[in-house]
Amino acid sequence: MQRVPPALCSPPGPAWLGRGTPGLAAKAPMEMGSRSTGKFYRIPEGKGPHSVGCTDLMTGDAVEGSFLRLYYPCHATDNEEAAWIPDREYYQGLSDFLNMYRVVGERLFQYYVGSVTCPAKSNAAFKPGEKYPLLVFSHGLGAFRTIYSAICIEMASQGFIVAAVEHRDESASATYYCKKKSVSTPEESTSNMEKEWIYYRKLKSGEEERCWRHKQVQQRVQECTKVLDLILKINSGEEVTNVLNSNFDWSSLKDSVDTSRIAVMGHSFGGATVIESLSKEPRFRCGISLDPWMLPVGDDIYQNSVQQPLLIINSEKFQWASNILKMNKLISNDTNKKMITIKGTVHQSFPDFTFVSGDMIGRFFKLKGDIDPNEAIDISNHASLAFLQKHLSLNKDFDKWDSLVDGIGPNVIPGTNIDLPATEPE
pLDDT tens track for 86-112 = 999 999 999 999 999 999 999 999 998
pLDDT at 34 over 50: no
Residue 173: domain span: 52-181+192-321
Q: What is the pLDDT of residue 326?
A: 97
Determine the pLDDT at residue 423.
64
297 located within any domain: yes
pLDDT at residue 254 in the model: 97
Catalytic residues: 268, 291, 347
Grade residue 27 by pLDDT with cuts at 50, 70 and 90.
very low
- Cβ proximity of 37 and 360 under 8 Å: no
Q: Which of 32-36, 173-177, 306-310, 411-415 has the weakest average pLDDT?
A: 32-36
Would residue 265 count as lying in a domain?
A: yes
pLDDT at 40: 55
B/e letters for 164-177, b = 16+ CB within 10 Å, e = fewer, are: bbbbbbebbbbbbb
- The verdict on residue 294 lying in a domain is yes
What pLDDT, on the 0 to 100 scale, is given for residue 81? 97
Q: What is the mean pLDDT of residues 79-86?
A: 96
> Per-residue pLDDT for 44 more than 70?
yes
Strand positions, DSSP E, 146-270: 161-165, 174-180, 193-199, 257-267
Residue pair 154/381 in contact (Cβ under 8 Å)? The answer is yes
pLDDT at 24: 30
**pLDDT value for 186:** 54
Mean pLDDT of 170-176: 98
Residue 190 has pLDDT above 60, yes or no: no
Task: Decide if 236 is inside a domain.
Answer: yes
Q: How far is CA 148 from CA 19, 137, 269, 297, 369, in A?
A: 26, 9, 13, 22, 17
For the cut 50, the answer to whether the pLDDT of residue 35 exceeds it is no
Whether the pLDDT of residue 130 is over 50: the answer is yes
| pLDDT score, position 5 | 42
Amino acid at 9: C
**Across all residues in the chain, what is the average pLDDT?**
89
What pLDDT sits at residue 10? Answer: 37
DSSP string covering 322-387, please? HHHHHHHHHHTT-TTEEEEEETT--GGGSSGGGTSB-HHHHHHTTSS-SS-HHHHHHHHHHHHHHH
pLDDT in tens, 50-80: 999 999 999 998 899 999 999 999 999 999 9
For residues 151 and 137, what is the distance between their CA atoms, to the nearest angstrom?
10
Share of the chain above pLDDT 70, in %: 88
Q: Is residue 388 part of a domain?
A: no
CA 392 to chain centre: 21
Q: Predicted confidence band at 6 (pLDDT cuts at 50, 70, 90)?
A: very low
Q: How far is Cα 283 from Cα 277, in angstroms, rounded to an integer?
A: 10
Residue 81 lies in a domain: yes
Q: How many domains does the chain have?
A: 1
Dihedral sign from CA coordinates of 66, 348, 45, 379: negative
> Does residue 149 carry a pLDDT above 60?
yes
Q: What is the pLDDT of residue 360?
A: 74
pLDDT category of residue 182 using cuts at 50, 70 and 90? confident
Tell me whether residue 398 is in a domain.
no
Q: Does residue 8 register a pLDDT over 90? A: no
pLDDT average, residue stretch 254-268: 98
CATH of the domain at 88: 3.40.50.1820
Q: Beta 337-342 vs 51-58: how paired, if at all?
A: unpaired
Split at pLDDT 50, 70, 90, the class of 128 is very high
If phi > 0 it is left, if psi is from -120 to 50 it is alpha, else beta; for residue 261 that is beta
327-354 pLDDT, tens digit per residue, is 999 999 899 999 999 999 999 999 999 9
pLDDT of residue 226: 98
CA pseudo-torsion sign 135, 140, 146, 150 = negative
Exposed / middle / buried, residue 66 (Cβ in 10 Å: 0-12, 13-18, 19+): buried
Distance CA 20, CA 94 (A): 16
pLDDT at 184: 57
Q: State the DSSP code for 142.
A: T
Q: Report d(CA 188, CA 185) in Å as an integer.
A: 5
**To the nearest whole percent, how much of the chain has pLDDT over 90?**
80
Q: Is residue 287 part of a domain?
A: yes
Strand partners of residue 376: none
Q: What is the mean pLDDT of residues 342-368?
A: 90
Lowest mean pLDDT among 36-50, 263-277, 327-341: 36-50
Report yes or no: 58 and 66 within 8 Å, Cβ to Cβ: yes
The pLDDT of residue 131: 97
Distance from C-alpha of 370 to C-alpha of 352, rounded to nearest angstrom = 16
